[in-house]
């Protein structure tokens, strides 16, 4: 780590990431962005399977863009866990690490002999993080721990889209990312205790547990209102449990998002007489939300987004133009955050990607090294750690 990053909170912390795909590597990415040194353990030749997980027809330097995005600035050590010498070398390196992460299928890590209960005998201060699909027990243990499948089992798909549309998945790998973020929180807490007492910990989560936690607000409502199922709006639904006018509406030239507010207030600002029957009747703002939304949508269609913003924002109506990516990235509000960076590799590979969402002491970490080739640092790491 260079001098610029030596004062970051996790500077000096060594993380071994034995994970594949997205959930575990997302955790180690967050730790790396806070200053940790992350060594990615990969199979020789094949490497992390996400190297070939293409989101489009774009690949850079032989690897997928998603691999580059989630593994930037990490080091790669090629280890064949079926080779006794390689496995012994990995165990030596584990003895020098502060954190070990794994997301093998349940039972696999025990067969290799790298499970927490085995390792803690020699390394009682080790912080060990595990991610599975559905935990270690129960009928889903052997099922594939994959993002879309975890979304499907979590119930979250019934919160998206309009009523009658059927289940609608998120267009992002939210189960993977949320599980990785949850594990990072647990690892950080365990590191605090490790520094205070010297005691290690096994921090565990799963894709399903992360998805249940993601829904904590609406599940709490469900559990305490007679366990009624969520009821999505049939028209321009944005939240199954919120009343009108909450939603996204088409204008003459784009789309406008409206957050929570009294219908009375919106009716006054827009001088919209058609909302008169709903004035002072909050119970109708939910039960009659489809009709209310249609009235609002018809009105917004008569003007441009900027025209409506000029009316709504001065009246303290919570609203926003719905931006696409080009509009976002050309906006001063995005540019001032400085969230993009270009990282490169010695073989000339260069990729533009995001930066850490965290700022420490007013500074956001920036790196210049791209995701590694398989085993790119193997020789130097074996020499450094005498493996």
Condensed to tens digits (0 to 9), the pLDDT of residues 71-113 reads: 999 999 999 999 999 999 999 999 999 999 999 999 999 999 9
Q: Is the pLDDT of residue 54 over 80?
A: no
CA angle 217, 222, 227 (to 5 degrees): 170
Determine the straight-line distance between the first and last CA of the chain, rounded to whole angstroms.
Answer: 21
Asked if 358 and 319 sit in the same domain, the reply is no
Asked if 260 and 196 sit in the same domain, the reply is no
Asked if 273 and 172 sit in the same domain, the reply is no
Asked if 303 and 345 sit in the same domain, the reply is no
CA angle 382, 32, 45 (to 5 degrees): 45
Within-domain flag for 231: no
Q: How far apart are CA 63 and CA 374, in angstroms?
A: 10
DSSP string, 123-184: -TT-EEEEEESS-SSSTTTTS---HHHHHHHHTGGGGSS-TTS-----SS-HHHHHHHHHHH
Mean pLDDT throughout 281-303?
97
Q: What are 190-228's pLDDT values in tens digits?
A: 999 999 999 999 999 999 999 999 999 999 999 999 999
Asked if 272 and 359 sit in the same domain, the reply is no
Within-domain flag for 219: no
Within-domain flag for 221: no
CATH number reported for the structural domain that contains residue 269 in this entry: 3.30.1540.10
Asked if 87 and 53 sit in the same domain, the reply is yes
pLDDT of residue 3: 46
Mean pLDDT throughout 19-30?
97
Q: Is the pLDDT of residue 1 over 60?
A: no
Asked if 315 and 347 sit in the same domain, the reply is no
Asked if 184 and 314 sit in the same domain, the reply is no
Asked if 176 and 253 sit in the same domain, the reply is no
Within-domain flag for 278: yes
Q: What are 298-328's pLDDT values in tens digits?
A: 999 999 999 999 999 999 999 999 999 999 9
Asked if 23 and 90 sit in the same domain, the reply is yes
Within-domain flag for 232: no
Q: What are 372-386's pLDDT values in tens digits?
A: 999 999 999 999 999
Query: Are residues 84 and 67 in contact, defined by beta-carbon separation less than 8 angstroms?
Result: no
The reply to whether the predicted model has a pTM over 0.85 is yes
Q: Is the pLDDT of residue 59 over 90?
A: no
Asked if 287 and 319 sit in the same domain, the reply is yes
Asked if 361 and 288 sit in the same domain, the reply is no
Show the domain range for 288. 247-329
CATH number reported for the structural domain that contains residue 373 in this entry: 3.40.50.10540
Structural domains of the chain, count: 2
Mean pLDDT throughout 232-249?
96
């Amino acid at each position: 780590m260079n001098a610029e990053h030596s004062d970051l909170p996790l500077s000096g912390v060594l993380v071994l990431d034995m994970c594949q795909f997205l959930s575990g590597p997302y955790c180690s990415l967050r730790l790396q962005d806070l200053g940790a040194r992350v060594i990615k353990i990969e199979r020789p030749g094949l490497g992390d399977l996400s190297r070939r997980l293409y989101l489009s027809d774009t690949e850079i330097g032989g690897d997928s863009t998603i691999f580059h995005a989630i593994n930037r600035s990490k080091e790669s050590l090629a280890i064949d866990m079926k080779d006794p010498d390689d496995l012994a070398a990995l165990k030596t390196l584990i003895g020098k690490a502060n954190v070990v992460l794994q997301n093998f299928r349940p039972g696999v890590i025990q067969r290799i002999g790298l499970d927490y209960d085995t390792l803690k005998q020699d390394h009682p201060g080790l912080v060990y993080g595990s991610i599975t699909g559905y935990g270690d027990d129960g009928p889903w243990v052997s099922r594939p721990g994959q993002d879309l499948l975890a979304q499907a089992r979590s119930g979250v798909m019934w919160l998206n889209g309009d009523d009658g549309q059927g289940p609608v998945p998120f267009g992002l790998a939210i189960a993977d990312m949320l599980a990785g973020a949850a594990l990072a929180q647990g690892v950080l807490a365990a590191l605090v205790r490790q520094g205070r007492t010297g005691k290690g910990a096994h921090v565990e989560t799963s894709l399903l547990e992360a998805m249940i936690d993601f829904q904590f607000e609406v599940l709490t409502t469900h559990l305490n209102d007679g366990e009624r199922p969520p009821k999505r709006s049939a028209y321009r639904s944005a939240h199954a449990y919120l009343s009108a006018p909450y939603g996204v509406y088409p204008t003459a030239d784009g789309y406008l998002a409206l957050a929570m507010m009294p219908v009375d207030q919106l009716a006054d600002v827009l001088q919209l007489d058609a909302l008169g029957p709903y004035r002072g009747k909050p119970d109708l703002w939910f039960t009659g939300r489809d009709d209310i939304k249609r009235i609002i949508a018809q009105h917004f269609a008569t003007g441009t987004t900027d025209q409506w913003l000029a009316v709504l924002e001065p009246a303290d109506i919570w609203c926003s133009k719905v931006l696409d990516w080009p509009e976002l990235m050309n906006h001063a509000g995005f540019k001032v955050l400085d969230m993009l960076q270009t990282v490169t590799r010695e073989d000339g590979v260069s990729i533009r990607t995001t930066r850490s969402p965290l700022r420490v002491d007013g500074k956001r970490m920036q790196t210049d090294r791209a995701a590694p080739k398989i085993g790119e640092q193997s020789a130097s790491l074996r020499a450094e750690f005498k493996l």
